[in-house]
Amino acid sequence: MPVVTVGKENSGNIDLHYEDHGSGKPVVLIHGYPLSGASWEKQLPVLLDAGYRVITYSRRGFGQSSKPTTGYNYDTFSMGGGEVARYQGRYGSKNVSKSVFISSVPPYLLKASDNPEGVDKPVFDGIEKAVAADRYSFFTEFYKNFYNTDQNLGTRVSEEAIRNSWNIAALAGSTASVACVRTWYEDFRKDLARITSPTLVIHGDADRIVPYASSGARTAKLVKGASLVTVKNGPHCITWTHADEVNNALLSFLKEEKKLLLETPA
């Protein structure tokens, strides 16, 4: 099993599991909460067929990566769109030819005096308490809004696909499942301002996890020259429910490029 060792916790290594397939120009796929690198199931074959080298990995605490009890912050670990923003906020965009944010948390989800579009802090506190109390029950309810099952179950997503997502979440580390919640309201506004790579934002306008108006629409305005693709009636996990629309947007955006950082929902 291919891994990258990124640290140690007591006597054990902290390893990140990854998969590296295909050849050609590399595309790095970065998953969100509470998934794993396997969450790109509907994008992987399309990108491989188009001639790209595709690299996926599971961040600490999830998938087949190590599940330490430390390091759950954006200066240490990786998580979806926040990683794409923070990397370029810290190091610039010289090593990234293009960036894509899909249903991602930037720019800043926490409501504040200078961020009235955000979500009230007690909402996040309640989520954290619910995950800590019974994360398995929380995930059951979470995935209803992750896929907007009241609208999409039986048409765009099956019971079995949702069950698989639940299984992946259940196998995540208990510490990671709770600790990641506090990272959802990290402030990425300064990071986005430093991005100079061509950027695409894809977001569903029916996202109940990360509201479209608070995130995707604002990110597209804060990154200079960014393009926005709005998926009509798209829930949070548009990479599954609206895979054709997402894949078409990605392939169009990828033409004649060398390297890309992508993130998956949440």
β-sheet bridge partners, residue 26:
53
Which residue's entry shows tokens 């998969």? 19
β-sheet bridge partners, residue 12:
9
Residues that are catalytic? 78, 207, 236
Distance CA 250, CA 240 (A): 14
Rounded to an integer, what is the distance from CA 1 to the centroid of its chain?
A: 23
Which residue's entry shows tokens 């050849």? 23
Phi, psi values for residue 67, rounded to 5°: -125, 70
Rounded to an integer, what is the distance from CA 59 to the centroid of its chain?
A: 11
Distance CA 57, CA 152 (A): 28
If one counts every other C-beta atom within 10 angstroms of the C-beta of residue 170, the result is 13
Classify 1 as helix, strand or coil: coil
Q: How far, in Å, are 53, 122, 259, 262 from residue 25 at the CA level?
A: 6, 44, 6, 14
If one counts every other C-beta atom within 10 angstroms of the C-beta of residue 90, the result is 11
106, 217 contact by CB (below 8 A) = no
Query: Taking the chain, what is the end-to-end CA distance rounded to the nearest angstrom?
Result: 26
